[in-house]
Amino acid sequence: MRSGGFVSVSRPVITSIVLILSLYCFHVFALKSQLLTRHGGVTDLNAQDTVINYETCYFDQKIDHFGFLEDGTFKQRYLVNNEHWDQKGGPILFYTGNEGDITWFCNNTGFMWDVAEDLGAMLVFAEHRYYGESLPFGQDSYSDTKHLNYLTSEQALADFSVLIRELKRKVLGAQESPVIAIGGSYGGMLSAWLRMKYPNVVVGALAASAPIWQFPDMVPCGDFYKIVTQDFARSGLNCDINIRRSWKAIDNITATDDGLQWLSGEFSLCSPLKKTDLDGFKAWLQETWVNLAMVDYPYEANFLQPLPRWPIQVVCKHLSFDPSSVSDYQLLGGISEAARVYYNYTGNCPCLNTSSTATGNLGFIGWYYQACTEMVMPLCTDGVQDMFEPQDWNFQAFSDECNSLFGVRPRADWAATVYGGLDIASHSNIIFSNGGLDPWSSGGVTRNISDSVVAIVIPDGAHHLDLRYNNEYDPHTVLSARIQEVEYFKLWITQARKLQIPGLQSVSSRESRGSRTLASDAESNTTKWLPEIPQAADWSTPGLIGELTPPPRQDTAVCNYPFIQKLYIKPVFCSGERFWR
């Protein structure tokens, strides 16, 4: 949402799909080490000798699921890995694709790859219509509004449902496989909505950083930017204050042509600024700070841009000026260095392009169209509780802009009508996970709605951190969150199979106590607590993120969860087997 090489000998995977469904598939592999590039010798232990491999497949999907006049089809792309799948009804983890190329989301959703072996799961990553290669009208898909008319979340959910049903019907051994939807950001919204709308198709959903309430009259429009500001305020002295002052400094310096020329040179802009560019330049900076808040990960990563660990802390080192004495030129010099942390951490960028803020794997035109139709998400700033210039939410102005761009007008209340708005208590088996550092948590579900529509809050987590690969720098809170998510997966799988797992009852019989869950042992009539998610204050310094090392992870947690064991490099003994921490 507007979010060293190795040699592999590949082998055929799920040939039954190729033969029975007559789908187009070819084998692809990628290396985790390439996805989590490290500077300065930092290594992801999981990535050293693990190859990500998948089949790339195409399914003939209807262009229109809800009408009968348009009867055409298109090739929907999806990726499949069954390396660890138990073909006797093992679960299917189904990623509901976002607004972009599905291979990018596949490569950045390491959680699914990490837990597949533990669950005996098949992995499926389905591409969202109108993004990547899944274009309903080929090159004409974006040619006009008539062709864009079928770009809706409802059509995408129907695509996912039809694809899942066809896979279960045709793939040998999948008929009894329970399916769990997983997604992050807009994809997380889709995973939750898929469970709500098609509970007969998926047994549960993990909706990570999914702002399903970021719609009109559901949450305050200013909360998003308040969280961005809080991230900067806690990451360095005077950091948010100096960013707030920078907008006026830009106005002061660009009042003259010489000032415009100086600012263009100071930021090493690819194109010199003109007076008419100033609003766009400020918007570029504002989105830069927002993106940094979204990807403020505890390790080096390359999600939107190549970045250092805890990038906001690095940014704020350039913005620690005394606000009472810093000059406009000094301040904007610091702002330019801070921006380079985001745009040129590698040092390979000769100039900064103000027309781009993130990876090219996202489909911005498609998302703009969706925002102009049904994904209406109000955002506003006041310049007091946040570090940005004041800007009200003006629906009419937004609607007029959409009409000029696409010839359409948004339906502000449609998402609430079709997906239930704040009233979601009648649903079941949905996990909403949110990071305390992620601005999109402002529109997320951060409290338990019922026994089985639950919230997991990761205080020191950024945008869907829990969906990324296990990493040695992960806070204990995110490791605990992943453990809880897997426990819920296992419960849903058990429910779907109507089997009894020793030590756990159904979700309806579970009780909650804080952030822990109580389960009964059916054989010994005793009780036990599932892992607790500690608060960030348990290990980090007040007001700053990640300055201290998390406490040692308990051996019992390691022994119980194989997907966590991979991080350990010192001896840990689990029932006679030796692992390393």
Which residues belong to the active site? 185, 438, 463
Long-range contacts of 568-576 (CB under 8 A, 24+ apart): 569/45
Written as six digits, the tokens of 384 are 């007091």
Cα(430)–Cα(21) distance, integer angstroms: 31
* Beta strands 51-62 and 73-81, pairing class: antiparallel
Cα(40)–Cα(558) distance, integer angstroms: 28
Of 60, 190, 169, 77, which is closest to residue 124 (Cα–Cα)? 77
Alpha-carbon distances of 555 from 120, 478, 485, 509, 576, rounded to whole Å: 23, 17, 19, 28, 13
| Chain CA centroid to CA 14, Å | 28
Of 170, 190, 168, 172, which is closest to residue 181 (Cα–Cα)? 190
Cα(75)–Cα(24) distance, integer angstroms: 9
Measured in residues, the chain has a length of 581
Q: What is the torsional sign of CA 330, 332, 338, 344? A: negative
Cα(105)–Cα(188) distance, integer angstroms: 12
* Beta strands 51-62 and 26-31, pairing class: antiparallel
DSSP assignment of 163-199: HHHHHHHHSTT-TT--EEEEEETHHHHHHHHHHHH-T
Which residue in the block uniquely carries the two structure tokens 């350990």?
568
Question: Please, what is the Cα angle at 496 between 493 and 500, to 5 degrees?
Answer: 75
Written as six digits, the tokens of 315 are 């940014």
* Those residues with Cβ within 8 angstroms of residue 50's Cβ, 6 or more apart along the chain or in another chain: 31, 32
